[in-house]
Amino acid sequence: MAMMRYAEALNAALREEMQADPSVFLFGEDIGRYGGVFKVTKGLMEEFGQTRVRDTPISEQALTAMAVTAAMTGTRPVLEIMYADFVPLTLDSLVNQASIYNYIWNGQVKMPFVLRTQGGGGAGAGAQHSKALDSMLAHIPGIKVVAPATPADAKGMLKAAIRDDQPVVFLEHKLLYNVRGEVPEGDVTVPLGKAATVREGGDISIFATSKMVVEAAKAADLLATDGVSAEIVDLRSLRPLDVNTIVASIAKTHHAVVVNEGWRFCGYAAELSATIMDHAFDELDAPVARVTLPDMPIPYSEPLETAMLPSAEKIRAAALKILK
């Protein structure tokens, strides 16, 4: 095991996959000489050259169309979109091209394309640089959407995403880049579509991804002082969703809190709640609780932003409410 920051783990995954497969190349805004806005691609242009690590103009729509074309013609592009807020500019290529080609050509066309981006609040970045748009992306059939919470999962899942023959949207969180953790050395991948139970408990299940797993862990510590044993399931993958692990957890605790940093209305938390009702209704002793953003833009003001974001205290309150 090696101790790495989340950003370093991503960098290691990119380096290892580029060393192993000459068809892998990177492109995006400021990823080359500058090393990326969060330094995830630092040093890769120097190692692999400007052909395989390409700085590009600011045109997310054109970049995604380039990635789709490159994937169709035998390479494995990894595109970085600097902020998730700009992902809506990519939707024509994602919705009308990347997500459907495997289906409409009966599996004859592969689409090995990874779109890396980061989002989420808590950094005072304002309404145009803080969105979590995972529900919008997970809504699209034909695209895999993952959101690792730890350095180990970040590395292992990025390696798996690059090797996948379907398009994968790889969601990172700006507040996780400096989080440190143990990362397996060597060629270790983490399967997409498999959740992880990161804390065992018997009274209530908390389901989360990305930065919300950190908040869930804090909430579990708070709940322990209330005499409540909370289980935490890190979904890791939003689509495909590991329903079996979700159902197994609820069968043990009979209570569920769903945490997501997206908006509440038509959000991923609503979809996950419906999935739980579809597959584990008879196991529930209370309604599923949701902890999400309210339906409004994220403010620049630090006190207002903090008040909006899902937090350990909000998760604790939601859990205690349904345990009454």
Inter-CA distances, 201 with 10, 66, 73, 196, 232, Å: 30, 46, 48, 13, 8
Both tokens of 194, joined, read 């498999």
Total number of residues shown for the chain: 324
Q: Which residue among the candidates 8, 129, 173, 215 is catalytic per the annotation?
A: 129
- Output b/e per residue, 13-39; b: 16+ Cβ within 10 A: bbebbbeeeeebbbbbbebbeebbbbb
Helical segments of 164-242, H only: 211-225
Spatial contact of 267 and 135, defined as CB atoms under 8 Å apart: yes
Number of H helices, E strands in the chain: 12, 14
Tell me how far apart the alpha carbons of residues 41 and 2 are, in angstroms, rounded to a whole number.
Answer: 19
Tell me how far apart the alpha carbons of residues 80 and 40 are, in angstroms, rounded to a whole number.
Answer: 10
Active site residue 129: yes
Which residue reads 């009702």 in tokens?
Answer: 277
Q: Which residue among the candidates 16, 60, 231, 271 is catalytic per the annotation?
A: 60
Inter-CA distances, 281 with 207, 208, 225, 257, 320, Å: 16, 19, 29, 14, 20
Tell me how far apart the alpha carbons of residues 236 and 191 are, in angstroms, rounded to a whole number.
Answer: 10
**Which residues are catalytically annotated?**
60, 129
